[in-house]
Amino acid sequence: MYEGVVQNLIDELGLLPGVGPKSAQRIAFHLLAADPADVKRLAHALLEVKDKVRFCRVCGNVASEEDCRICRDARRDLHVICVVEEPKDVVAIEKTREFRGRYHVLGGAISPIDGVGPDDLRIRELMTRLADGQVTELIIATDPNLEGEATATYLARLVKPMGVRVTRLASGLPVGGDLEYADEVTLGRAFEGRRLLDV
Amino acid sequence: MSLYRDEGVVLRTHKLGEADRIVTILTRRTGKVRAVAKGVRRTTSRFGARLEPFTHVDVQFHTGRTLDVVTQAETLRPYGERLAADYPRYTAGSAMLETADKLTVAEKEPALRHFLLLVGGLRALTDGEHEPRLVLDAYFLRSLAVAGYAPALETCARCSAEPVRAFAIVAGGVVCGDCRPAGASVPAAETVALMLALLRGDWASADASQARHRTECSGLVAAYLQWHLEHGIRSLRHVERV
Ligand SMILES: [Zn+2]
Ligand SMILES: [Zn+2]
């Protein structure tokens, strides 16, 4: 235990994902020893991100305006939507340069045991986007693990009556992992070899 | 350094750090074990899907100071693959895993009957012979019985008299007219018969039951389960009826 303000900082850092008590302590002491200007810049970046970044009203991706950069881009194919769990998955797929359509960020995957059901994700928003009949293909790129597969099954069943072609990234992605860890070549190939999801 | 080996069903996983997970496994001999699976979230992990929920695995652990570490895992039965492709069965299976986790409170305390019940439940769920919600209700009733909370279904839970008139969760099952507390529900006789068939594993009777009795049975079993488990079963509200 340290003096009030130092302990406060350690406690706050310890709440971040992937930061255990030891790392929190290490980061706190790094900040204490750092140049005040560097720390100010970090603090400013933290505040600015909460202030200026929001979520795209169309796709749920991070955006600096009402719509994200991808949704505003007129060159993107309006007929294909790729469904992902998190904004970081959009980044991973953009790196492959295989996909020219738009995205839909669900905000997670269906996991009843964690209390997450379909209503807790941006599924209603997705159905609204599909309602005008402009979209012809939905590519489901949820994580290649149990929750991701179950979410894909749920979406395929929901969307099927709308006559939209539903595809899933090819299994070449070893199951069990997180999409963000797939290398660009593997992910690119998974896009090319996507298969029709039949439910 | 101490290694031990067991077989078990992966109940749940939690992200840990950058690419690891903590996996909770209900094992045959050791009971519930929480262990670290290193690098398992990388798509190049040698563990692949072997440490995903529902998988029945043969697993080797290394005893650690705080948490044990999974050093090897081989799939015995990949129940998760089949379940993830069938949404109602996936939700029913999730409720089974959560119940097994909550009924085996202490870690590393042998819970063979809970393990056998879970494996049997997952097998029945993936076989697809019975309606998933019936399989789930049978699993609930039997795991409550293993935990010492079997509901009385034939004679009054309070005085053992017959005939019984109502079902009262607080009393522990069916009750006679004299013992009936206020607020007890009065289910159809067929519903109580269905509960008994599920508890005993009489599938011929259970499969022949009518939809309205199944619905009433699920409602009573769910209420009874939530009453006995302090924090309730979160998955239950997401379970779909076919
Ligand atoms: Zn957008
Ligand atoms: Zn009585």
pLDDT string in tens for chain A (199-residue length): 677 888 999 999 988 877 878 888 999 999 999 999 999 999 999 998 888 888 999 999 999 889 999 999 999 999 999 999 999 999 999 999 989 999 999 999 999 999 999 999 999 999 999 998 999 999 999 998 899 999 999 999 999 899 999 999 876 566 667 787 778 888 888 888 888 887 6
Comparing B19 with B96, the larger pLDDT belongs to B96
Which CATH fold topology does A4-52 show? Helicase, Ruva Protein; domain 3 (1.10.8)
Residue B97's closest CA among B242, B201, B238, B241?
Answer: B238
The answer to whether B94 faces chain A, any CB pair under 8 Å, is yes
CB contact under 8 A, B41 and A178: yes
Most B-contacting residue of A145, A189, A195, A199 (CB-CB within 10 A), to test interface? A145
CB contact under 8 A, B48 and A186: no
Which pLDDT belongs to residue B111? 95
pLDDT of B33 higher than 90: yes
Burial grade of B197 (CB within 10 A; 0-12, 13-18, 19 or more):
buried
Report ipTM for this prediction.
Answer: 0.89
| Domains of chain B listed by start with CATH number | 3-78 (2.40.50.140), 86-238 (1.20.1440.120)
What number of H helices and E strands is found in chain B? 7, 7
| Sign of torsion over alpha carbons A8, A9, A10, A11 | positive
Structure tokens at B118: 């879970």
Domain A74-196 sits in CATH at: 3.40.1360.10
Per-domain boundaries in chain A = 4-52, 74-196
pTM comes to: 0.86
Structure tokens at A151: 């979410």
The closest CB to that of A115, out of B48, B52, B234, belongs to B234
Is beta strand B68-78 parallel, antiparallel or unpaired with respect to B55-62?
A: antiparallel
pLDDT of B172 higher than 70: yes
Q: How confident is the model at residue B188 (pLDDT cuts 50, 70, 90)?
A: very high
The closest CB to that of A174, out of B48, B53, B80, belongs to B48
Residue located via tokens 């074990």: B33
Q: Which ligand is nearest to the CA of A65?
A: 1
Peptide bond into B163 cis (omega under 30): yes
CB contact under 8 A, B87 and A114: no
The answer to whether B75 and B81 have CB atoms below 8 angstroms apart is no
Q: How far A5 CA lies from chain B's nearest CA (Å)? A: 25
**Angle in degrees, 0-180, between the axes of helices A146-159 and B87-103, rounded to the nearest 10:** 150
Other beta carbons less than 10 A from residue A43's beta carbon = 11
